[in-house]
Amino acid sequence: MAKTIIPFGPQHPVLPEPIHLSLTVEDEIVTQAVPALGYVHRGLEKLCDIRDYHHMIQIVERVCGICSKIHAMCYCQGLEKMMQIEVPPRAKYLRTIWSELHRVHSHLLWLGLFADAFGFESLFYQYWKIRERIMDINEATTGNRVIVSVNVMGGVRKDLTPEQIRWILTELVAVESELKALEATTLDDYTVKARTVGKGVLTKEQAYELGAAGPTLRGSGIAQDCRQLNYAAFPDLDFEPIVEYGGDSYSRSKVRFRETLQAIDLVRQALHKLPEGEISVKVKGNPSGEGVERVEQPRGELFYYFKGDGTKNLDRLRIRTPTFANIPPLAAMLPGIELADVPVVVLSIDPCISCTER
């Protein structure tokens, strides 16, 4: 049987991210997938040599726009631990609120793209219409829709008024209601199940051995989530990881749908428990030594490594993003599926190439 090597990406009409794969195909069945990274490398980590560590907050926010708030929080938390800075409780809650709002709008964006991959254009618009409510909350409370820039060393730069809190809670009721109305169309439709159930299977053992992260990991039955590490306000919130056990594209999509509803609930909990007090503390000195920090992005575990030499510029900054962790599992999912199913399976890991190639 003749083998054909097909270049998939970095530009593809169905795929929203510039990922590149070399697919070996025999009779429309993928037998091997070899990923290639580096297409959009930007050299952001190197900037820590020339930028003040305070200014680097704005740089790491631009590693990925969709989860910019969580990148900034991971960066600030890591340096605050190194410098033994105690962040006020209210600031921890505010960080959590904006982080979970980012998770909601990231998952809604993905659910829309997932619907579009099947040709469900009206469903795509419905999800992005719901997402606009979250973007309006971001803009009203921080001044920006995507890159909100609220994190500073020692806390946050913005606060929420009682009127804003009441408005957010009202908006979340509408978002939750509109999202639940789309559940049957998204998860019970015959076409969706035909294109996702049993497609791109990643077993529990493979997910563990290949180092999968986020919904890709939890969709294979492993209840691991960095929010269990109890950073920010999560120790005070009722939280359990969302887990599905099929290991296929359907399970991964179901995890994200359920996580969206869970993130709405976490924002609601944090708003109800929001303590009074200051939102930041003054920071003196420069980071010295080494440290690491882990938080949960919408796509999975985000890992930061820091090395400081006592000056205003970090000696080293290393970032490991969840898509980088999910590329080896993706290469294991693709062999054995039909070529027509490749875009949907690739999309099921929610790839973010700007995160991966800094």
276-to-134, 164, 282 alpha-carbon distances in Å: 24, 15, 18
3-class DSSP state for residue 344?
Answer: helix
Contact 234, 295 (CB under 8 A): no
233-to-94, 212, 237 alpha-carbon distances in Å: 8, 25, 7
Buried b (16+ CB within 10 A) or exposed e, 75-100: bbbbbbebbebebbbbbbbbbbbbbb
DSSP H stretches of helix in 118-160: 121-142
> How many Cβ atoms sit within 10 Å of the Cβ of residue 249?
28
67 among annotated binding-site residues: yes
> How many Cβ atoms sit within 10 Å of the Cβ of residue 11?
9
Q: Distance (Å, rounded) from C-alpha 99 to C-alpha 74?
A: 11
45 among annotated binding-site residues: yes
Token representation of residue 14: 């169905």
64 among annotated binding-site residues: yes
319 among annotated binding-site residues: yes
226 among annotated binding-site residues: no
315: part of which helix (H) or strand (E)?
strand 314-320
26-29 long-range CB contacts below 8 Å, 24 or more apart? 26/1, 26/2, 27/1, 28/338, 28/339, 28/340, 29/336, 29/337, 29/338, 29/339
29 among annotated binding-site residues: no
- Max distance between CA atoms of the chain, in angstroms, equals 70
Annotated binding site: 45, 64, 67, 319, 352, 355
Annotated binding site for Fe cation: 67, 355
Annotated binding site for Mg(2+): 45, 319
Annotated binding site for Ni(2+): 64, 67, 352
